[in-house]
Amino acid sequence: MNPQALRLSLFVLLATSSLHAQHVTLEVDGGIELPFGRLADSVRTGPAGGVGIGYEVSPRFGVAGRGEISRLSTRDRVAPGGPEGPAPDLTHWQFVAEGRLRPLSTTDSGDLVLSGGAGVAVFRFAGEFLDERFRSTRTYPTLRGGATLEVGVVPRVALTAATRVKLVLSAEEDPPIPPFDETWFLNLSVGGRISL
């Protein structure tokens, strides 16, 4: 066999065995997102979904990156501040990096995973103001924490049920439409996780 091909084969074998030993994970989930704080005066609970990729450094600790989106519709056509106020719908993206901890002994049937991290939240408001359409997009820092229950169904595949609290740090001198201060969201979701 060609020495270069042999070296390449050994590298691929070692890389693959290392990935399997450390478990790269892929997860997909969906559910609902509930707004709290002043923003909850303008928008209501809506659907949410997310995808993530993780890397388990050890049986008890891992890191992950996640992308999530939610769609929160206008609560009332009359916004706070008067009948001519805007009536926006909110599309909310979050892109975060997080650490994950398994505080209990891992079992084949189920496991609890605690997570915490930070990233950016992107808000896009779209609605009508004085009978004219408008769109406003802003980016804010965000902090988050949560817990996930994983239940194994077959080797390397688990069903998940998660709750996450997301704090958006949105204080600014030029407030968006509608105006809101630091707000937070509660995300409830179910989904699945695959260990590659």
Domains annotated on the chain, with CATH: 24-195 (2.40.160.20)
Render pLDDT for 115-170 as a digit per residue (tens, 0 to 9). Answer: 999 999 999 988 766 667 778 888 999 999 999 999 999 988 999 999 999 999 87
- Tell me what pLDDT residue 153 has: 92
Distance CA 104, CA 60 (A): 8
How many Cβ atoms from other residues are within 10 Å of residue 173's Cβ?
Answer: 4
| Arithmetic mean of pLDDT over the chain | 82
Residue 183: what residue type?
T
Give the residue, 177 or 89, on which the prediction is more confident.
Answer: 89
- Tell me what pLDDT residue 46 has: 94
Pairing of strands 157-168, 132-154: antiparallel
- Tell me what pLDDT residue 183 has: 85
- Tell me what pLDDT residue 174 has: 60
- The mean-pLDDT minimum among 43-47, 87-91, 174-178, 179-183 falls in 174-178
- pLDDT at residue 81 is higher than 60: no
Average pLDDT for residues 28-35, to the nearest whole number? Answer: 97
Average pLDDT for residues 176-183, to the nearest whole number? Answer: 66
Give pTM, 2 decimals: 0.78
* Tokens found for residue 190: 């179910």
The helix/strand/coil state of 34 is: strand
With cut-offs at 50, 70 and 90, classify the pLDDT of residue 41: confident
